[in-house]
Structures are given as C-alpha cells and as structure tokens.
Structure 1
C-alpha cells in the first residue's frame, strides 16, 4: 500500500510542470519555444526566473543559458542586469531594468 501511494505521489509531482521559486509566486508567467526547446519565464517586479523544460545533453548547456538570457527582453521588454544572473541552464534568476512604462 505504501508503495502504491509513493508511485501516485511521484506521478502527481511529475505532472506539476514548471513552478516558480517562492519569491516569484504571483509573478507574470510567460512561455515560449526557441529552437524546439520550451522555456517558462516568471517576472515579478524587477526580478525574473527562467526555467528550461525537458532534458539537455552536456554539450548544450552554454547555448541554452545564452538563450535563457536572450528571451527575457523578448518576453518582458526588460533588460537583464548581467551581474545579477545566477543559476544554470535548468533554472536561471536575474534582476531586470525596465523602461518606465513597463515597471
């Protein structure tokens, strides 16, 4: 019985998809696909979090991270503050600066 409950819990967790970090709860959610790879971006105030969906091989991580930085202005209209970028090709967080109308 415990084994069945564990399997059900695992299946439910797998169906959750991209969830933001607690700091980003309530932020605007954006989704996009670039070069066949799906990304989910959350923006809240002057912060963004970008999550890559799916698996990536070891040789793809540098390109994926660059793509994650590039999609921020496409989806939000705000620029990434380069010195604030943290994370890897699976999940990246950064501060952004936005034109006056997008704050």
Structure 2
C-alpha cells in the first residue's frame, strides 16, 4: 500500500467508530443529543457509547450525562452503572469520549 493510499484510508476511518473487542457483534446505533453525535453499541445487557467529533475542554463537562442518556434512549433500558468484569472500560474515570454501561431492561 502506498503512503497516499494509507493516508486516505486513515482519513476515512477517522470519522467512524468501531466497538471494543468485547462488543464485536453488537448492534450499532447513531444518536444526536444536544448537538453531539454518539454511536451506541448494544450487546445483551451492556452498552458502549462513543462520542463522535471534537469538543474543546470547556465543552466536555456536559458530556457524561449525555453518554448515559444515549445508552438509555437507544436501548430503552435504564443505566445502572458502569459495566464491570470483561466489559469494564479501560478508560480513565471522567473520559468523555467513551463509556461502557450495565443496563437494566
């Protein structure tokens, strides 16, 4: 693959979200809340939510409740907390780009 082809492929992939390995085979849903795009992956009683796009640091404070709202809106279930075990998120607490939740359906 030439450098130009590699760069083009990288640019195309930069705008898409893919699930964590634990969520392979999950259903994929898009939702827009308060002007922010999210992709929600649902698998059983768990959800992975990925925020799309760039936000400045000052804009990120409003995102954590939106991550929960996205999971609940798409799944129709209640978020009961962070996903645990194999589905636990490797992200640092307060990450506004990705979150994994346990659902009560």
Structure 1 unaligned segments of length 5 or more: list them: 99-103
Max Rg structure: 1
Q: Give the 5 Å matches for 1:61-72.
A: 61-72=60-71
How many residue pairs are counted as aligned between the two chains? 95
Partner of 2:81: 82
Partner of 1:101: none
Query: Moved runs in structure 1, 4+ residues, more than 2 A?
Result: 5-8, 82-87
TM-score scaled by structure 1? 0.80
TM-score scaled by structure 2? 0.79
Q: Larger relative contact order (C-alpha < 8 A, sep ≥ 6)?
A: 2
Whose helix fraction is larger, Structure 1's or Structure 2's?
1
Structure 2 unaligned segments of length 5 or more: list them: none
- For the aligned residue pairs, the C-alpha RMSD in angstroms reads 1.9
CA offsets 1:22-58 (integer angstroms, 9 cap, x no match) = 1101111110111221110000011110011100110
